[in-house]
Structure 1
Amino acid sequence: MNSGAAASESPQAAWAGGSADVHLIYPDPQFSERSQAAGALRRLANAFVRYRTDEATLAEIAAWAHETAARLESASDPVPRPADYFARRYSDPRPPDGAEVMAFSDRAFSGPANPTAMDVDMRRQGEGVRASVTFGAAFESAPGRAHGGAVCAVTDDVLGYLMVCLGIAAYTARLEIDYRGGVPIDEPVVFEAHEAHREGRKCHVALTVRPADAAADAPPLIEASGLFVIVTAEQLASDS
């Protein structure tokens, strides 16, 4: 994060190191600050799992966490998710090809302002999505491997962003995952997803996961397929 970015830049551009290639559907006026704080908390979570310390330090961490949580809880009312999240798929332009795509800065699993997320760089790639993901120690299951449930969660999130890049509103109806190899922790892996075919309101999708340094035709660690059911603009309008 570039804390020295010019004051005239948007929070999104400042966070992206001066680049304006971030497509953030719901702007966050504290994007950079919240992302930096969440990143520090993610580092703390991974360090807490990976390392051991004395009882006094553990007590200090617990006291600080409870005090800080209480300050946050008393500082404002809870912030609800916007009700027009799906409707905007049919009114907003699609993300530009190559742009980093975010719905909410604190989106589950992938939002940089969410301290429980993974480290994710999600981008539109043509008519598909490409995400570079690093799972930290907080998501380790078998030695050196990310928990399959965490991998599944990111898979669903990447496919959700595929819907954003396609410009459609859709719910996950079915998701099938073949775990062909272990997904490593502390090393970037690449999720790539695309639409396989469409039948009316049924959007069939496919996804693969490979190490970031693997060849494009290397055997994938993960293969997934899924079915998303499209909610049309007319249906959304009739429900409002």
Structure 2
Amino acid sequence: MTTDDDGAPYDPELMAAVTDLGDALRGLVEASVRTTVPAAELRAVAATARAATTRLAASTRPATQLPALDDPVRFRRVYNPVTGVGSALAPPLVLREEPGGVVGEVSFGLTHEGPPGYLHGGMSGLVMDQVLGAATIRAGLWGMTARLELDYRRPVPLGTPVVCRGRVVESGGRTSVVTGSIALATEPDLPLVEAGAVFVLPREELRAAYFSEVTDASGRHAPPQRPTDATAPAPGGDR
């Protein structure tokens, strides 16, 4: 077994295989939106893809069961659509801690295109929700998105390194206020997208209801939780 820096164990062979498949799938998706091969070749590749799907579907987990490699408390989610090494949808974005928050660099491809040559605005929202959530976790807090607001200053170009940042600016009780941005890696202080969010830790009875069926890979009940000062009661609200 291999461990993270903070000691969470995982199977390194399985992690390498999931990462390899994720890389291959991302390459396939990107090629599928760029290709100009004729219809006959598209049909042949579709048949190959369906055969691969059948092989993978030979053994699957229910949606309520976490993957064997996941550890939500340590923010390891291998199929996350933004950061997951095993996700065909993820760029993937690799985040690291920096003073006061988190930061990561990434380039987006045609898979995530909105206006020609630029990132889809909804993808910006998905990415910033993830980055701001990561900043909350790294600050020792936890919560679900209660509000997310974005200001689109300029379009985010595809095929160009950008830097994503997030930091907690206020916290108290069950609530955290987080801000962040997407900017060109060459101009990190000139935001293309600015984001702000409020994360709220659901009340204990709601957490129990939301995640009542979630288990780990062994079948044990494993609801997301993070015992920090964010668990302190806060007045008002249904979350």
**Smaller-chain TM-score range?**
0.7 to 0.9
**Counterparts of 1:121 and 1:75 in 2: how far apart (Å)?**
29
Change (3 A) 1:27 1:46: same
Q: Secondary structure at the match of 1:226?
A: strand
Match of 1:163 in 2: 136
**Counterparts of 1:170 and 1:34 in 2: how far apart (Å)?**
28
Match of 1:224 in 2: 195
Q: Secondary structure at the match of 1:130?
A: strand
Q: Secondary structure at the match of 2:195?
A: strand
Post-superposition CA distance 1:11-56 (Å, at most 9, x none) = x7xxxxxxx76x7967354111211111111111112112211122
Change (3 A) 1:114 1:160: same
1:154 and 2:127 are equivalent in the alignment = yes
Greater alpha carbon shift after TM alignment, 177-186 vs 120-129: 120-129
| % identity of equivalent residues | 31
User: 1:93-132 alignment to 2 at 5 Å?
Assistant: 102-132=75-105
Identify which of 108, 126, 133 aligns with 1:135.
108
Q: Secondary structure at the match of 1:221?
A: strand
Change (3 A) 1:213 1:109: same
Match of 2:235 in 1: none
Greater alpha carbon shift after TM alignment, 128-137 vs 26-35: 26-35
Identify which of 10, 35, 52 aligns with 1:27.
10
1:67 and 2:51 are equivalent in the alignment = yes
Match of 2:42 in 1: 58
Report the TM-score when normalising by structure 1: 0.75
Report the TM-score when normalising by structure 2: 0.75
Change (3 A) 1:81 1:27: farther
Displacement of 1:138 in angstroms is 0.8
Change (3 A) 1:68 1:46: same
Displacement of 1:126 in angstroms is 2.8
Q: Give unmatched runs, 5+ long, in structure 2.
A: 213-222, 224-239
Match of 1:208 in 2: 181
Q: How many aligned positions are there?
A: 207
Q: Give unmatched runs, 5+ long, in structure 1.
A: 1-8, 13-19, 93-101
